[in-house]
Structure 1
Amino acid sequence: MRLRGVTGEAMRDILSGTTHALLYAAALMAIMFTAAGAELLQLRSIDERIDDYVSSGASTYVVEYPGRIDARSCESLADAPGVHAAGAIRTADSRISFAVLPSTSLPLLEATPGAVQALASANSRDTRALTGSESSGVWLSGQAAETLGLTSGQTARLADDTPATIAGVYPSPEDGRSSNATYAVVQPVPRDGVFDECLIKTWPVPDSIESLALLSVGTVSDDGDNRPTVRQLNTRFGAGLDSSALFSSRATAWMPALAGGVALALGFVAVWTRRLELASALHCGVPKPALVLQMMLETASWTFAAIVLCLPLPLAVMHLWAGSAPQQIVVLTLRPMLAAALGAVAGAVAASLCVRERDLFAYFKRRI
């Protein structure tokens, strides 16, 4: 039997409804969509947990060593793998008062550009570069801005009538962070000289974060009791978050195998319910390889239809995924879908191979 004859017979079965292509395409689409959706929900849950951890400041580390943090060394840590921003902070000798509340003075902190960048993205997983206008003027913590009634871009008057441009407002939620920048005014300064702290925003957290952080220290005191300390900005979420372990231990890790197994059963049933028809074809002289190929083509038709119907899901993930690396999420979403497609075809082939001509009369007797 020639290939043209096999494809023609497969096409006639599909168009006549013998294959029940629409029914099996809908069933396979349900398997694919359920498996891919479950995987997507699990990945989203992991991504949200990482977002909460990073945006809380749990992956941000602070090196404290008053008067001994080298600004340039601290800023250079931003080039290390996993470090998104790093900068130095020191407390100014004087405090600052605004004309709207002249009787209330706020701590004035001097921060290098990297520190301002880390503060500006304190409640976000991502870290963005500062614009030119954000690099000049002063920054207010969210609490200070609310108290003073000031917003980003405004020009405020200090208590001595000096104008001050509000370059930006950085978040300062009361969520367990231990920082002197929670209620303060931050003045951007050049990355020169010595400071009190080095702020390092990371993700994923480097294994050698403490050793890396200590590279920001300029000189170490001879006093054994006077040593730099490295701590998390926020310890509310624990000492660490193993995202690799979360991913490998997720409940849907075996979803491709499960989807493939269920689809294999579906493909087997789709062909096995036609065993009387197939055995009759074998009895009439149709070669077994040609029959197997015909079943593969018919199964491939509704398998392809199911894939096309499920494509909006990975396309939506590509454009709407709020987390990082959407391409990797799309690949993980496609895995159970492709496994289901291969399982359906494999099941059809297995059922085709199980049909035997000598069992024709047995199939006839047991027909429904």
Structure 2
Amino acid sequence: MTGTTRFALLGILSAVVFASLVLLDALTTSGLVASAERFRSSGAATEILVAEGRVDGAACEALAGVPGVTASGALRSSARKITIATLPDAPVPAHEVSPGFSAVVSDRAGSPSGVLLPRELADMIRAGLGDEVATDAGPMRVAEVFDYPSDGRRPGFGYAILSVGSALGSYDECWATAWPQLPNLRTLLLATMSPSAGDGADKPQIMQLNSSQGASFEGNASFTDRLTRAAAPAAAVIAAGIGFAGVRMRRLQHTSALHAGLRKGDLLALGLLEAGGWAAAAGVIGVGAAAVGASMVERGDQFAVFASLVGIPLAGVAGALIGTAVAAAAMSEKHLFRYFKDR
């Protein structure tokens, strides 16, 4: 209450340090998370096996059950184009896909029957999820509307109709998305091929749906090598300096108490009790800053980011106590008169 311990000064100073380091690391981490999401949502994490008429649709669909593979589906093209009643002069290319294909191009699996429309085409004909579209092949129900912008993705599917069919039979392509990326995804894709019909068959090709973001996303390396990875050690060192300075500022008082008969262990205990008060208060503010920082990312990543950030204020609290303990242990009654003269 009298301000002897400089509780407000040391607490505010530590809180500013903790919160600043937490938010700085949060901004860096959220940037990496955003880059990862941009890589995934652009289709860069999707690999495509092209082997005309030699892809086993059921085997391709089964890839979605492999750990790490988030979605898979097969596709085969049709030479016939479909004419939509509201676009009579612009026939639309048609493709048939297996039921799991919807999860590859969209974040949610659509209905097992119907057609998948790219958003650009759906907006042109003003069709939405569940609507029926009149075509020369009969009415078609929209099972899913997916985004397929011109951002480097493989062309040809921004203006097309994808009809959901059976997983059985032979297909031309197998699309699979793995997140995080799997180094053996291409091997898994090749395993979906049916035996070749002959030696003259074209060699299968594997390509990335969108190569504009690079072949791979080195998220673990980027996170490990980020400049703010030293935020927790920095918080501990700075807080240790603050704790050490907080004791040294009262060195005359402490040595006087020792001269008057206070035991060294009691001095250490009192110092830790006082430092624990202002350091814990600063730590709570730091934890609050960690919660704010975690809210910068998508909900699915918030807990992991919070767990990473909360270590910064906790390291700071530990550093403050260590710095206080070292300074208190260094106090000696024999320094009393020198401290008095220095004052």
Q: TM-score, normalised to structure 2's length?
A: 0.95
SS in 2 for 1:312: helix
1:65 corresponds in structure 2 to: 51
Q: Does 1:26 align with 2:12?
A: yes
The residue type equivalent to 2:73 in the other structure is G
8 Å Cα contact 1:221/1:227 also seen in 2: no
8 Å Cα contact 2:22/2:293 also seen in 1: no
The residue type equivalent to 2:184 in the other structure is S
2:27 corresponds in structure 1 to: 41
8 Å Cα contact 2:255/2:336 also seen in 1: yes
Report the CA distance shift for 1:40/1:281 in structure 2 as closer, same or farther (over 3 A): same
Alignment deviations for residues 23-47 of structure 1 (CA, whole Å, 9 cap, x no partner):
2111111111011111111110111
8 Å Cα contact 1:136/1:167 also seen in 2: yes
The residue type equivalent to 1:70 in the other structure is D
**Unaligned stretches of 5+ in structure 1?**
1-14, 122-127
8 Å Cα contact 1:179/1:233 also seen in 2: no
The residue type equivalent to 1:313 in the other structure is A
How many residue pairs get aligned? The number is 343
SS in 1 for 2:101: helix
Shift of residue 62, structure 1, vs aligned partner: 0.3
Q: Which has the higher mean CA deviation after the structures are superposed, 308-317 or 265-274?
A: 308-317
Q: Does 1:149 align with 2:126?
A: yes
2:3 corresponds in structure 1 to: 17
Q: Where in structure 2 are the equivalents of 1:86-235 lying within 5 Å?
A: 86-121=72-107, 128-130=108-110, 134-159=111-136, 162-223=138-199, 226-235=202-211
The residue type equivalent to 1:39 in the other structure is D
8 Å Cα contact 1:102/1:159 also seen in 2: no
SS in 2 for 1:106: strand
1:314 corresponds in structure 2 to: 290
Shift of residue 326, structure 1, vs aligned partner: 2.1
Separation in 2, partners of 1:327, 1:140: 35
Alignment deviations for residues 129-181 of structure 1 (CA, whole Å, 9 cap, x no partner):
43xxx333212112222333333332221146x32222221111001111432
SS in 2 for 1:341: helix
2:36 corresponds in structure 1 to: 50
Separation in 2, partners of 1:149, 1:38: 45
**Unaligned stretches of 5+ in structure 2?**
none
8 Å Cα contact 2:97/2:165 also seen in 1: yes
Provide the aligned C-alpha RMSD in A.
1.7
The residue type equivalent to 1:41 in the other structure is L
The residue type equivalent to 1:92 in the other structure is S
Q: Which has the higher mean CA deviation after the structures are superposed, 151-160 or 79-88?
A: 151-160
The residue type equivalent to 2:145 in the other structure is V
- Out of 238, 241, 245, the residue aligned to residue 269 of structure 1 is 245
1:363 corresponds in structure 2 to: 339
Alignment deviations for residues 331-368 of structure 1 (CA, whole Å, 9 cap, x no partner):
1101111111111111111111121110101101112x
8 Å Cα contact 1:47/1:323 also seen in 2: no
Q: TM-score, normalised to structure 1's length?
A: 0.89
The residue type equivalent to 1:155 in the other structure is E
Separation in 1, partners of 2:33, 2:294: 15
8 Å Cα contact 2:55/2:194 also seen in 1: yes
The residue type equivalent to 1:144 in the other structure is L
